Amino acid sequence: MADKLLFDRIDEPGLDTIEVYKRRGGYQQLERALRMTPEEVLQNLLDSGLRGRGGAGFAMGKKVSFLPRGGMDKYLVCNADESEPGTFKDRELMQKSPHMLIEGMVIAAYAAGANRSFIYIRGEYELQAMKLEAALIEAREAGYLGEDILGSGHSQTLYLHRGAGAYICGEETGLLDSLEGKRGNPRLKPPFPANQGLYQGPTLINNVETLATVPHIIRMSGTEYAKLGVENSAGTKLISISGNVQRPGNYEIELGMKARDIIYGLAGGPEPGREIKFWFPGGSSSPVLKPEDLDRGYDFDSMARAGSMLGSGAIIVVDDSNSVVDVALTLAKFYRHESCGKCTPCREGTNWTVKMLERIHAGDATPMDLDIIASVQDQIMGNCLCVLGDAMAMPLSSMVAKFRDEFEQYIEDKRAAAGLGEIPEPTPIEIAGAAA
């Protein structure tokens, strides 16, 4: 295990002040980066192999390189709308080391040629917003933000914007609409934000953790950073573990570590006597994995091979004391509540799914409903305007596929409890002219 980068002595008192942060070497990487050309900084980012830590895992350096060169107004936006259930790593990072994020943002903006930047933080993160606001004041006073930073000629403004509590505003284009003062609805892509983002200008959007990693890449150099982790998954990753484990919380790991070592080693596994039933490897929108997948490495490619994804790096463990149906219902309700309503499959699909699961819960369903649930998830997947619909369909579909027996047993038990008894043989209904 490599040394921690982001969470190195994260609990040191006063780290949220510029004084302590600088004493520990803070803002030196900014000075160093500003002595390089933007192209050299970008090369380091490309070399590092850093992939976005927000969920999609897109190579950060590549994203920066997509921004057109030239003198137009360009923007950097930090996505701090950390709303994916099970994810709470950015929160700790911003709360305890806000300057790391600011330093990373100035370096990234320098590489991207952006002079205006924003942090869009979710409304519920009140303490974190206060910490960041205080840090921003310190950084401005110290000359790390503003005109002609450290005599480099690079100027940058950075503002903090608080959201109003919508999951969809974590979707990058929804975030941009919200930041512009509109209703936070996702936009059609293309155009992608790199070409036409905030106020129609080229915009780089990255997650908090991604941007906070940037100073470390400059310190180590991109090629050195790339040596951390495994192939296609360079570096360390903050993970949030929650659910049925004995030591939930945030941990920094080197990518590629065995999932079992994370869940049992770091987080202590489930309570004694309990078995893991399934686990979400990358937040609530990742397809669930079973205990047999625990020996896989925790990295982008291994999780994809397992049929799931690393996502935001939030592991949610569910043990055998929980019913898969309850988890599915809770999850579906969340996505129904958070669907913006703009596109049809997500708006109606999440709503219908909840209604069906509620019927199962109420004991008024048959196993045929499971087929409809599965089919509805298929109808959502890939057909939506943004990925929110997929975010429900993927885990739901994996739960129904992997725990069909349990669902069916649940339906039978509930029916029995509701006094409905045996499930009658379905009689096909003839519909004139209907093509099934």
**Cβ closest to other proteins, residue 76 vs residue 357:** 357
Helix (H, G, I), strand (E, B) or coil at 116: strand
Give me the least distance between CB of 356 and other proteins, in Å please: 7
Nearest-CA neighbor of 240 among 88, 79, 83?
88
**Cβ closest to other proteins, residue 1 vs residue 434:** 434
Residue ranges binding other proteins (CB under 8 A): 166, 168, 183, 188, 336-345, 347-352, 355-356, 359, 372, 379-380, 382-385, 431, 433-436
**Cβ closest to other proteins, residue 10 vs residue 387:** 387
Give me the least distance between CB of 190 and other proteins, in Å please: 9
Contact 308, 287 (CB under 8 A): yes
**Cβ closest to other proteins, residue 239 vs residue 376:** 376
Q: In angstroms, how far apart are the furthest CA atoms of the chain?
A: 80
| Neighbour tally for 18: CB within 10 Å | 21
What residues form DSSP beta bridges with 230?
233
What residues form DSSP beta bridges with 280?
316
**Cβ closest to other proteins, residue 250 vs residue 377:** 377
Torsion angle in degrees (nearest 10) through CA of 132, 134, 139, 140: 110
Give me the least distance between CB of 429 and other proteins, in Å please: 9
Give me the least distance between CB of 216 and other proteins, in Å please: 34
Helix (H, G, I), strand (E, B) or coil at 202: coil
Give me the least distance between CB of 331 and other proteins, in Å please: 15
DSSP characters over 219-280: HH-HHHHHTSEETTEESEEEEEEEES-SS-EEEEEETT-BHHIIIIIIT--SSTT--EEEEE
**Cβ closest to other proteins, residue 170 vs residue 281:** 170
Give me the least distance between CB of 354 and other proteins, in Å please: 9
Task: Report the C-alpha gap between 289 and 283 in whole angstroms.
Answer: 12
